[in-house]
């Protein structure tokens, strides 16, 4: 997605000053991790909704220019939950932190610094992981500048040995270039890990499932989104068009008619919006067929979670 010259990449690589590495985006649910990654990449590789636990698995977003390649690992929001799915999500986030070159720990500065966020900061501030830590105070467009300074002071007290503390607005792009420069300072000097034209490691099939799930989250209320998953059963090319068959799993029989809606209108709306998003991303026509299937307690079944990549 980024416009740059492959010759420039090779020149930087030859000089030995090309920097490349992985960056784990960590934080509580809904602090803006996926929004930040999408902003940097310039494409929606991670779905975004106002509901917590939207991101369920590790997602790569790859930013490349003539001097660097930053491989962002968007992780599930760190939270407490009893279901096996919730525990798997949190385990995924901490595994990504252990493997990354740089840790970016995000918080929503428009909300008070709660006990869970403070505990998360302290968990990494103890130095048990050797990677440099960059704290990102997101959503600065929602707060007054005089309210930001006390928060920065408190954050510096909690993690005095962090590499940097950067206020940004991921939604508006404010201070995002400065954050990228700060991250680059801590990346190893090495050739790119991925082809410069790549912007994610997700397949089109995976992106299709995520785009459908995003629209389910946006269309439904209360507990239903968290008891849904999307399984793409067929993905095939028909000339210039993609044909996709997908099943939306729900955790209870009562959820099925709610998801379908009167006369099938809600399911049709979900399908239309997901299809339009995929067509924008992939630059080709998509025909999307959706069904709803009841699978009680799927989110606590190890075999089903493995099948869904969760």
Structural domains of the chain ordered from first start: 6-185 (3.40.50.300), 204-307 (3.30.300.20)
pLDDT at 8: 47
| Mean pLDDT of all residues in 133-143 | 95
- Strand stretches in 29-84, DSSP E: 59-64, 68-74
Q: What is the largest CA-CA distance in the chain?
A: 63
| Mean pLDDT of all residues in 289-307 | 81
Cα–Cα distance, 308 to 224 (Å, whole number)? 18
28 with 78: CB under 8 angstroms? Answer: yes
pLDDT at 79: 42
pLDDT at 80: 52
Please name the residues in contact with 284: beta carbons below 8 A apart, sequence gap of 6 or more.
240, 241, 242
| Mean pLDDT of all residues in 107-125 | 90
| Mean pLDDT of all residues in 248-264 | 89
Confidence of residue 287 (pLDDT cuts 50, 70, 90): very high
User: End-to-end alpha-carbon separation of the chain, Å?
Assistant: 27
Q: Which long-range contacts (CB under 8 A, 24 or more apart) does 121-126 make?
A: 121/155, 121/158, 121/159, 122/158, 122/159, 124/26, 124/97, 124/159, 125/158, 125/159, 125/160, 125/161, 125/162
Which pair of structure tokens corresponds to residue 16? 């030995």
204 with 243: CB under 8 angstroms? Answer: no
pLDDT in tens, 14-61: 446 899 999 998 888 889 888 998 899 988 877 565 544 545 556 778
Confidence of residue 95 (pLDDT cuts 50, 70, 90): confident
Confidence of residue 285 (pLDDT cuts 50, 70, 90): very high
259 with 268: CB under 8 angstroms? Answer: no
- Residue 99 CA, distance from chain mean position: 17
* Whole-Å CA distances, 154 to 25, 34, 95, 157, 171: 21, 25, 27, 5, 24
pTM: 0.75
Q: β-pairing, 102-108 with 133-138?
A: parallel
Q: Taking Cα atoms as reference points, which of 295, 210, 216, 296 lies closest to residue 260? A: 216
């Amino acid at each position: 997605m980024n416009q740059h010259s492959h010759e420039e990449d090779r020149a930087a690589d030859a000089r030995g000053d090309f920097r490349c590495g992985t960056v784990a985006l960590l934080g509580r649910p809904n602090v803006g991790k996926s929004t930040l990654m999408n902003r940097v990449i310039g494409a929606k590789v991670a779905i975004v909704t106002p509901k917590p636990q939207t991101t369920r698995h590790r997602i790569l977003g790859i930013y490349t220019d003539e001097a660097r390649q930053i491989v962002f690992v968007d992780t599930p929001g760190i939270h407490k939950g009893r279901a096996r799915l919730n525990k798997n999500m949190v385990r995924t986030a901490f595994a990504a932190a252990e493997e990354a070159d740089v840790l970016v720990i995000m918080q929503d500065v428009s909300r008070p610094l709660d006990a869970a966020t403070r505990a998360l900061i302290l968990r990494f501030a103890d130095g048990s992981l050797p990677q440099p830590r960059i704290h990102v105070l997101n959503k600065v467009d929602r707060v007054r500048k005089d309210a930001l300074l006390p928060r920065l002071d408190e954050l510096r007290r909690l993690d005095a040995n962090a590499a940097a503390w950067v206020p940004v607005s991921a939604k508006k792009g404010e201070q995002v270039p400065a954050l990228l420069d700060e991250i680059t300072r801590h990346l190893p000097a090495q050739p790119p890990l991925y082809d410069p034209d790549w912007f994610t490691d997700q397949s089109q099939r995976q992106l299709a499932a995520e785009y459908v799930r995003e629209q389910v989250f946006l269309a439904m209320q209360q507990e239903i989104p968290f008891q849904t998953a999307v399984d793409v059963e067929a993905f095939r090319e028909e000339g210039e068009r993609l044909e996709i068959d997908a099943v939306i799993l729900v955790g209870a029989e009562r959820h099925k008619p709610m998801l379908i809606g009167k006369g099938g209108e809600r399911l049709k709306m979900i399908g239309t919006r997901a299809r339009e998003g995929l067509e924008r991303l992939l630059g080709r026509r998509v025909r999307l067929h959706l069904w709803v299937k009841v699978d009680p307690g799927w989110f606590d079944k190890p075999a089903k979670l493995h099948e869904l990549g969760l």
